[in-house]
A and B are shown apart, each in its own frame.
Chain A
């Protein structure tokens, strides 16, 4: 019978002990003595969040297909267990074998959002692995980071031995082969890191040095020795249809956030919204063949027993064969106890038709993400959604029987004025007007329009990577303006408004565009007890403020400052495909309110054409 790392007493005294026992359906069990490489894959947040992440499922499946690798999982222990592990000095363990992480060859940590950075430190600390890479030696695992936040790895540079920039499908095999040869050679840690630095997409922070100017900006960023590449190329899996995909995803016992089959239909997005990092770093847009997706849908539902299937992509409506796929799913599974969920669909006749089939119209709501209230500002951010399209979509939705509409916006966007903020409320009001224009006998009571705003955080590798952010007070003023404008609307009783906290926005802004000097702040914040910063119950900005003060780092330098186009940015050493020239051009277009057509209408010359794949090639046919 399986041995557990934790005693019954501990497991029965913490919340949801099934988070820590492994043993899930489709989890992999191997004999550790029969493999060359033990890899612990970590999502630095609680189990239910981490288990919902597609990327880990893909890599878990891919790594374990290799006979010489045993990939296991680890998630952040929840606060209750954190205290116990720390207090009793019980080392953090992997779910499958229940063995301590510190005995592994690799600890891979996926970096999906900035607010998990203290949980990264927690993982190292609880594992008994020195938090700082420079203090590691001997048998310590190599700690490797990946995921979207690795596109600016610098704030975490102190904690990681390596980063993998881009999609995991391409370079891990080479890295593992080098590791095996290195392990057999008996050479020191540095020897492996030097060799790893030559693998495409691998960044070894200790092999680079940074100097700063007096004003705090970067003077020079360069490799410390010859043979270390000056630029790191992001990795792209060009033929997405043929890349491995987990036909047998893990099925947790406790309900995960994503308790369904997730079918990744494409990567990348043709739209080019200027605030969106995913839309830039996952270029070029690549689709999977519809026949492959149909096959996966069948297999994955059969292998998991899930009662729901969902499509995953940045913009499902842009998938060429969407109609064929959705009609297949409905014909094959609808009414057979399988729900079909269709997120990120543009509202049009087709999507309303299929959603009418698979959703309970009375209960469900339709979502629009205009992101900005005025047409002027939507042009600035290149959100190609016009007021006309939104209102027509709302008309069609109301005619189809929907009454609930959700609207998502951002506040604090570049060039935003009070008028733009107030336009959010008037747009919501106009939607309500459309509803009440329907004859009374044909509508079903009141409509419910919910406005949600988040505060805009500029991200690396976007046209807005240079812009300044605002103070917490300014953000809250923006929200207040919207709130007052909503109250002034004729249909205010049909409109609800929610806004986010501002503290967390400011911190996210610091970490998103920070440099190496932030490592000290993150470590200090963790030492002060910051953990699960993505959870509003635990986020404590007061402690973060102290951490900044005590380490002598000014957060405003990273947030409020507008960077000059000439400045060396901390992530400039990464080639993410999109060129700096393109991003600068897009920034100028933004300021001029000029829109850029989507990739299928016209190539914007962003630079990813060099990969010769996806939409870039399809368009030249």
Chain B
């Protein structure tokens, strides 16, 4: 039986990287007595996979992992058991049974929502953000940026990969909202969009000045984006 767990990551846990979060959850499963299934072989490992890695420094309300279990208690009991053994800064939000045909978390990711803001202690440049965003994002037909990976340099068109881009100004400080393509095919980091926006404005972009917060992940169903936590079903 496959289970999808949604969790949020906040506070000091944002400094714990993706690989360490995987190790963290493996130990959580044992502490919470989740009947997780193990692989075959001399050193069996837990059958567990994460939807989309979150960078060190980012927080999230919508992280997902899939596990395989041999048996399970109800969603509610399992959540209670998990949250009893969590570190401060990780909270399990849902525990749902996946259908046999549901794609694996990693393969199912199609898009991600982010909120980004300028951290305390960094100046927010004064400007008309709405107008700037119109000029940068909504008016052009294409926005070409280059993405440097370990192996190559790729040219991307942000118009195709950014599904939504909004800005709201609170107390003189902008809060950005982004919905971008995510997953194994066209994964777009929100920092890359911000860097391009800053460059367009002729400003230096300091990634350390921006807090990245992931709101949720989406899968695709019949050409529509569907929030990840609507997949699967509650276990009564």
B26 touches A305 (CB 8 A): yes
> Residue on A with the closest CB to B32?
A305
Contact across chains for A12 and B29 when beta carbons are under 8 A apart: no
Asked if B13 and A23 sit within 8 Å, CB to CB, the answer is yes
* Given A21-B15, A254-B20, A360-B43; A303-B57 close (CB under 8 Å): no
- Asked if B20 and A8 make an inter-chain contact with CB atoms under 8 angstroms apart, the answer reads no
Query: Complex formed: what's the CA distance from A74 to B119 in Å?
Result: 28
CB-CB contacts of B131-168 with A at 8 A, as 1s and 0s?
Answer: 00000000000000000000000000000000000000
A23 to B13, CA, bound (A): 8
Interface membership of chain B positions 12-38, coded 1 if the CB is closer than 8 angstroms to chain A and 0 otherwise: 110111001001101111110000001
Are the CB atoms of B208 and A302 closer together than 8 Å? no
Partner of A7, one of B10, B44, B87, B121: B121
- CB of B30, distance to nearest CB on chain A (Å): 4
Contact B208 A13 (CB under 8 A): yes
Interchain CB contact under 8 A, A339 and B43: yes
Total number of A-B contacts with CB less than 8 angstroms?
Answer: 79
Interface of A is mostly: loop
* CB-based contact B56/A12 at 8 Å: yes
- B202-215 vs A, CB cutoff 8 Å, 1 = contact: the mask equals 00000010010000
Asked whether, in the complex, the Cβ of A12 is within 8 Å of the Cβ of B57, the reply is yes
- Given A12-B208, A21-B15, is A301 in contact with B30 using a C-beta cutoff of 8 Å? yes
Taken together as a complex, chains A and B put the C-alpha atoms of A458 and B207 apart, in Å, by: 53
Q: Which residues from chain B contact A7 at a C-beta distance below 8 Å?
A: 121
Q: A2 on the interface (CB 8 Å rule)?
A: yes
Contact of B16 among A8, A18, A301, A337 (CB under 8 A): A18
Is B187 interfacial (CB-CB < 8 Å)? no
- Cβ-defined partner of A18 (8 Å) among B15, B30, B38, B119: B15
Q: Write the residues of chain A forming the contact surface with B, with a CB cutoff of 8 angstroms.
A: 1-2, 4, 7-9, 11-13, 17-18, 21-25, 251, 253-255, 301-307, 335, 337, 339, 360
Contacts from B to A (Cβ < 8 Å)? 10-13, 15-17, 20, 23-24, 26-31, 38, 42-46, 56-57, 85, 87-89, 119, 121, 208, 211
Given A18-B20, A301-B30: A25 and B12 interface contact (C-beta under 8 Å):
no
Q: Give min CB distance, B211 to chain A, whole Å.
A: 8
B27's contact among A4, A13, A25, by CB below 8 Å, is which? A25
Given contacts A2-B88, A302-B31, A305-B29, contact A22 B12 (CB under 8 A): yes
Closest beta carbon of chain A to B214's beta carbon, Å: 17
CB A409 to nearest CB in B, in angstroms, measures 31
For the complex, give the distance between the alpha carbons of A251 and B42 in Å: 25
For residue B13, which residues in chain A have a CB less than 8 angstroms away from its CB?
Answer: 23
Q: Given the complex, which residues of B lie within 8 Å of A307, measured CB to CB? A: 26-27, 30
- CB <8 Å contact, B208 and A8: yes
B85–chain A nearest beta-carbon distance, Å: 7
